[in-house]
Amino acid sequence: MDDIRPKLPPKPERFMDTLRLHIRKQGLSYRTEQTYTHWIKRFIHFHRLKHPADMGAAEVEAFLTHLSVQGLCATNTQRVALNAVAYLYKQFLGREIPDLDFKLAKKHRRLPIVYGREEVFAVLGHLQGVFRLQVELMYGSGLRSAELLSLRIKDVDFGSNNIFVRGGKGNKDRTTLLPKGMVEDIQRQIKHVSLLHQQDLLAGYGSVYLPDALDRKYPNAAKQLAWQYLFPANAISKCPRSGIYRRHHMHSSTLTRQVNSAVRKAGINKPARCHAFRHSFATHLRTIQELLGHSDVSTTEIYTHVVNRGDKGVLSPSDRLRNFHKIEEAGANYFVGSKIEEVQALSLLASS
């Protein structure tokens, strides 16, 4: 349950606990809290546990320059560290930091890892059960792995073929498409969760974690099926916030191990990354800023090195992959190398 905020003392005395409390009062996400505290700890340890109140611009500059020169960090990494230290001084300690003079990290524009359609199909062939469903859903809906694992049953809307992403990156909500070809598989998964939830209730458990103050606002919601995770963990564990034993969602490392194994067995000579299926979604769906949840179109434009087209698609890459292989089985092969003659194939799909 490492994505649940641990409980803090009512009146914290330790420096980091006081900082965490301040971050929470500002309404920042737990992911931001984890990031900021990580970099602030590194800043403090870099200066041999010197208290931040006794340091200033010179120490900040030395730390950021070290990250660039000795640490060889990326531009974004250095920027995140700067944001964390800036929050420490400006927001938490209430001190202004003058213009800083430090060595900027070199900016490298790295292309994302993208699996071709045949590669995605090959990876899926080496996955079974819930893991195949999870990977196909990441590819078919463009979900980040953390967003996938935190999905609750209520977030899947079969009526509108939408998936609701709650508190995604930047603590933003959005919707993305639900692949039509996966509806039956997801419904079977919900039936499995329902049976598991009934067993938990009979065993005296069945109360799922609710974020923020929802457990007080809706006291009975935690035991309702709608709020249960779509991909629950195999075991009951102790909640670090409340101390209650409950079933959380599957841990990200479990899915990562399965993806690593499947990519290796498929003989794909590319890094095994869960996030690569999101990149592949963006590429194969011809780049969609809204569905990916990017606030800046420049973030989405990184995918245009693969597909130099815009427009908003209506067919999930997962559905397209399934349909293309149905066409192949019928004797019509529209694959040319690793690319597809989309105009011909889509016209066939439209009439089928």
Written as one string, the DSSP assignment of 3-17 is TSPPP--SS--SHHH
Enzyme catalytic residues: 144, 169, 275, 278, 294, 303
The token pair at 276 is 């690569």
Which amino acid is residue 38, in one-letter code?
H
Q: Which two tokens stand for residue 218?
A: 């809706």
| Side chain identity, residue 29 | S
Distance in angstroms (rounded) separating the CA atoms of residues 33 and 24: 8
Q: Which residue has the tokens 């034993």?
A: 245
Residues 281, 273: Cα–Cα separation, whole Å: 13
Q: What is the mean pLDDT of residues 231-238?
A: 94
Write out the E strands in the chain.
156-157, 162-165, 174-177, 237-238, 245-246, 335-336, 339-340
What mean pLDDT is reported for the chain? Answer: 84
Give the pLDDT confidence of 149-191 residue by residue, as tens digits: 999 999 999 998 899 998 777 778 889 989 999 999 999 999 9
What average pLDDT does range 196-225 have in this prediction? 90
Q: So what's the pLDDT on residue 339?
A: 39
Instruction: List the CATH code of the domain at 117-313.
Output: 1.10.443.10
Q: 58 pLDDT exceeds 90?
A: yes
What is the tally of helices (H) and strands (E) in the chain? 15, 7
The C-alpha angle with vertex 102 and arms to 100 and 103, in degrees rounded to 5, equals: 155
Report residue 340: phi and psi, to 5°: -125, 140
Cβ atoms of 153 and 274 closer than 8 Å: no
Q: Burial letters for 198-216: b for 16+ Cβ neighbours within 10 Å, e otherwise? A: eebeeeebbbbbbeeeebe
Q: How far is the first Cα of the chain from the last one, in angstroms, to the nearest whole number?
A: 45
Residues 15-92, CATH architecture: Orthogonal Bundle (1.10)
Q: What is the pLDDT of residue 314?
A: 53
Q: What is the pLDDT of residue 105?
A: 87
Could you tell me if 286 and 309 are in contact, meaning their C-beta atoms sit under 8 angstroms apart? yes
Encoded tokens for 174? 């959005």
Chain-centre distance for alpha carbon 84:
21
Domain range summary for the chain, segments of one domain joined by +:
15-92, 117-313
CB burial of 300-310 (b: ≥16 within 10 Å; e: otherwise) equals bebbeebbeee
Alpha-carbon distance 27 to 302, whole Å?
31
Beta-carbon contacts of residue 132 (< 8 Å; ≥ 6 apart): 124
Is the pLDDT reported for residue 290 higher than 80?
A: no
Q: Would you say 164 and 155 are in contact if contact means Cβ atoms under 8 Å apart? A: yes
320 pLDDT more than 80: no
Q: What is the pLDDT of residue 215?
A: 79
When pLDDT is cut at 50, 70 and 90, the band that residue 79 belongs to is: very high
Is residue 33 within 8 Å of 24, Cβ to Cβ? yes
Per-residue confidence (pLDDT) for residue 1, from 0 to 100? 76
Question: Is the pTM for the entire model greater than 0.85?
Answer: no
What proportion of the chain, given as a percentage, has pLDDT over 70?
Answer: 83
